[in-house]
Structure 1
Amino acid sequence: MSQADTFTADLLEISASGYAALAAERLLAAHPQVAARFGADAVGAWKSALAQRIVELATALRLGEPELFRARVNWARRAFGAREVPESDLRASLEALAAVLAEELPAPARPGAAALLADALAVLDTPAESGDQLIDPATPQGRLALAYLAAVLEGDSRKGTELVLDAVNAGMPVRQAYLEVLVPAQREIGRLWHAGELGIVEEHVVTYTTERLMTLLAHRAERAAPNGKTVVCAAVAGNAHDIAVRVLADFFDIAGWRAVHLGASVPAAEMAAAVQYFDADLVVVSAALSVQLPKVADTIAALRRIEDRPVRIMVGGLAFSDAPGLWQKLGADGYATDAEAAVARGNELVSG
């Protein structure tokens, strides 16, 4: 990351709304068919979407990770396809944004932004990714996940809960119920929301039911003997989703740790205070979106400033999936892709 990229990232974040408004106006003026597709709300919708692209662009520049912006453009590409919006609209919006930034940014700030936007536009010249199948209906666990979702989405949370509890009572390990039923089901809900196939109300119902079910399952799990170690698990500030963090906390608890679940969107200072209050040996910080990664860096910096309680720091979450080596750049001690890997890595970090 160069000084020029840092300067550009700062400028983009500060002026995101203004640049987005200019790009939206340019887009709709040059492409009346786009304006017609979005109707009366076209300006507001595109201003919001382009402001998000600008913040994502700034994050990739700040962290020196172009892949983060490519991944977000691919995410938008899939969302456009799911909502049957022509991909040409996405291309046109990025071209409008590139033109505005080329005109409005100071000369030293232009090259970095232009390079990432050109790279993103090149992504659109490649075949679209098909996406991974989140639930496999050919497996018993996949069929259970689908049955669970169907019951909850039909308004029968009790039936969905009983389906999973019956499977556990019949011998399915709690870890398997988490990793092969509930986690895939929750990801499928995210996919359906992303595709515009369900709304926020349905997502909330499933998430609430899953959280309640996890509490019941955690009490049924066979626990290892206490190991005398404490882990604090939290979603970074700005990350409002804490299902993954709850899974982490439960898996550490099952493995014999004292697990403290702080929940969603925890500010850096509060996380550092919790480490001291609970005498934590390990902190696990989760981020779902790339734009939350600077907050992860802030949190790690706050944790490193604790003098009387040195603590090991591990990171995880979907935000890291597009740049697996980023955890080292941010200053963490480790990274894990899922809850089981997090427990194994946590044991290594604390015992090492």
Structure 2
Amino acid sequence: MANKRTAELVYNHAAEIAEVATTLQYKRMPELESRYGKTGREKCLQDAGYHLSYLAEAILSESPLLFRDYIGWAQQMLSARNIPAKDLAVNLNCIKEALAQRLPIESFVVAAKYMNSAMNQLESAFEPIESFLKSDHTLKATAEKYLQLLLNGKRNQASQLILQEVEKGVAVKELYLEVFQPVQHEIGRLWQLNKVSVAQEHYCTAATQMIMSQLYEHIFNSERNGYRLVATCISGDLHEVGIRMVADFFEMEGWDTFYLGANTPIESIIRTLREQEANLLIVSATMAYHVRAVSDLIEAIRRDTTLKSVKIMVGGYPFNVAPELWQAIGADAFANNAAAAIEKANDLLRALPLK
């Protein structure tokens, strides 16, 4: 109960706390004005808001690991942009002071525990982020070539590369797992390290979605197994490539899939589950601050007696970081990739009658 109250206070007062923290930081570090200008203050305020969002979600989920992981990520991202670790440390200390000013003492004690846990790691050197293009992947060379083509803006050549692999007999599932998935993760890593721009990241993602659609003649020709899946991102989550890959995997396994895409409201998800008489819902959360919306969705589904037989599987980065998080929010299962999702779904639904 203390965690829930604290998280809600942080959510509700995040803008005010971020403003107080930013003002404190600029008083302590007046050189920031000349170093970064007006846009720097706006960015500092925005970053404080992000920190508070992640903090609130970690507290609500009772997972200090979520906030520690986020701060570690932020440290590496800022370092790659030549922003000293000291700036982040001062910013977090100012947030902590602002929390002390704005929260009741019992809630501040809870929040401070999560803040301290994350801030302690700033004193240690962070581990370098390894490439997602692994040497033990059969298609590593293809993945590397595909990535370079995308980064060079050669979408058509990237498409031809993938279609040639299919013609050579490479399974579509293998291309998803060993090319599309690791390349998307690698692009995210390169952005974090300031080696690609946001525009390049968006271009690569859009190109991959287009190329995936060219493979649909190989996806939608499987014999149906009688099961129905709804796959979606929660409202507020715009990162849809991962969940789309999962939906395509289920389609290749013979499921009838209803892919709703990004940023889908809870009401629309529930209506679709009813209309399609779905056996399984898979919902993705890309950022830790999306977990609360996933939890709200699960609660809404559990309250609906017409959906009592629907199984719910979750996935996405926060659940990879905190392995017990899926249980804490009431899901039936968690999977960290498309192949694992198929296996978990078979375990969940083996005893259910077909629609």
Same fold (TM over 0.5): yes
User: Is residue 174–residue 220 contact of structure 1 (8 Å, CA) maintained in 2?
Assistant: yes
What is the Cα deviation at residue 195 of structure 1? 2.6
Task: Render the CA deviation track for 1:13-51: whole Å, top value 9, x for unaligned.
Answer: 111111111111111111234444322222211111001
Distance 1:274 1:188 in 2: 33
Matched, 1:249 2:247: yes
Alignment coverage as a number of residue pairs = 350
Change over 3 Å in CA distance of 1:159–1:137 after alignment to 2: farther
Give the match for residue 314 of structure 2. Answer: 315
What is the Cα deviation at residue 137 of structure 1? 6.4
Identity of aligned residues (%): 31
Distance 1:139 1:237 in 2: 34
> 1:164-203 maps to which residues of 2 (within 5 A)?
164-203=162-201
Task: Render the CA deviation track for 1:41-95: whole Å, top value 9, x for unaligned.
Answer: 2221111100111111111111211111111101101111221211111111111
Q: Which of the residues 82, 88, 99 maps onto 1:101?
A: 99
Q: Which protein, 1 or 2, shows the higher relative CO under an 8 Å CA cutoff with sep ≥ 6? A: 2
Q: Which of the residues 146, 149, 158 maps onto 2:147?
A: 149
Distance 1:120 1:253 in 2: 41
RMSD between superposed Cα atoms in Å: 1.7
What is the Cα deviation at residue 138 of structure 1? 7.9
Distance 1:338 1:55 in 2: 26
Q: What SS is found at the alignment partner of 2:169?
A: coil
Distance 1:340 1:202 in 2: 28
Give the match for residue 113 of structure 2. Answer: 115
Distance 1:216 1:202 in 2: 21
Amino acid at match of 1:108: E
Give the match for residue 326 of structure 1. Answer: 325
Distance 1:280 1:222 in 2: 18
Amino acid at match of 2:319: F
Bigger Cα displacement from structure 2, 190-199 vs 324-333: 190-199
Amino acid at match of 1:318: Y
Q: Flag structure 2 segments of 5+ consecutive residues without an equivalent.
A: none
What is the Cα deviation at residue 171 of structure 1? 1.8
Distance 1:70 1:172 in 2: 40
Give the match for residue 37 of structure 2. Answer: 39
Give the match for residue 82 of structure 1. Answer: 80
Q: Flag structure 1 segments of 5+ consecutive residues without an equivalent.
A: none
What is the Cα deviation at residue 222 of structure 1? 8.4
Matched, 1:348 2:342: no
Task: Render the CA deviation track for 1:262-304: whole Å, top value 9, x for unaligned.
Answer: 1001111111110001110000011011100010101111221
Q: Which of the residues 256, 259, 275 maps onto 1:258?
A: 256
What is the Cα deviation at residue 305 of structure 1? 2.4
Distance 1:80 1:229 in 2: 46
What is the Cα deviation at residue 143 of structure 1? 2.1
Give the match for residue 203 of structure 2. Answer: 205
Q: What SS is found at the alignment partner of 1:231?
A: strand
Distance 2:350 2:241 in 1: 27
Q: What SS is found at the alignment partner of 2:82?
A: coil
What is the Cα deviation at residue 148 of structure 1? 1.5
What is the Cα deviation at residue 156 of structure 1? 2.0
Distance 2:35 2:127 in 1: 25
User: Is residue 227–residue 255 contact of structure 2 (8 Å, CA) maintained in 1?
Assistant: yes
Distance 1:336 1:291 in 2: 19
User: Is residue 82–residue 196 contact of structure 1 (8 Å, CA) maintained in 2?
Assistant: yes
User: Is residue 151–residue 159 contact of structure 1 (8 Å, CA) maintained in 2?
Assistant: yes
User: Is residue 224–residue 255 contact of structure 2 (8 Å, CA) maintained in 1?
Assistant: yes
Q: What SS is found at the alignment partner of 1:129?
A: coil
User: Is residue 237–residue 286 contact of structure 2 (8 Å, CA) maintained in 1?
Assistant: yes
User: Is residue 267–residue 299 contact of structure 1 (8 Å, CA) maintained in 2?
Assistant: no
Matched, 1:337 2:345: no
User: Is residue 193–residue 200 contact of structure 1 (8 Å, CA) maintained in 2?
Assistant: yes
What is the Cα deviation at residue 313 of structure 1? 0.6
Q: What SS is found at the alignment partner of 2:233?
A: strand
TM-score, with normalisation over the residues of structure 1? 0.95
Q: What SS is found at the alignment partner of 1:131?
A: coil
What is the Cα deviation at residue 223 of structure 1? 5.3
Q: What SS is found at the alignment partner of 1:308?
A: helix
What is the Cα deviation at residue 306 of structure 1? 2.6
Q: What SS is found at the alignment partner of 1:132?
A: coil
Q: What SS is found at the alignment partner of 1:172?
A: coil
User: Is residue 138–residue 178 contact of structure 2 (8 Å, CA) maintained in 1?
Assistant: no
Change over 3 Å in CA distance of 1:300–1:139 after alignment to 2: closer
Distance 1:218 1:344 in 2: 22
Change over 3 Å in CA distance of 1:158–1:137 after alignment to 2: farther
